[in-house]
Amino acid sequence: MRKVISTVLLVGGLLLLYFGYDEYNSLQSEVDQFFGGSGSDKAIWMLVGGAAATIGGFLGLLRGRDVL
């Protein structure tokens, strides 16, 4: 059961990273960066959440092995 949760976290995190990166490079985010100096908050939170979920899922998959 732990491997299933870790795999879901890893895949979900990678998807969040992809969509966060895509959102960060969107036209709306470019306009926000031009006028406001930073990207959209949605994109940044998607990148942060995706990174955390990816790391958590990866570490969860490694936990069952004798690597760590």
Structure tokens at 38: 């930073």
Structure tokens at 4: 């299933």
Alpha-carbon distance of 16 to 63, in angstroms, equals 23
Cβ proximity of 50 and 11 under 8 Å: no
Residue count (the chain): 68
Structure tokens at 31: 């306009």
Q: pLDDT (tens digit, 9 = 90+) per residue, 7-66?
A: 999 999 999 999 999 988 887 777 777 777 766 778 889 999 999 999 999 999 998 665
pTM > 0.85: no
State which amino acid sits at residue 53.
Answer: A
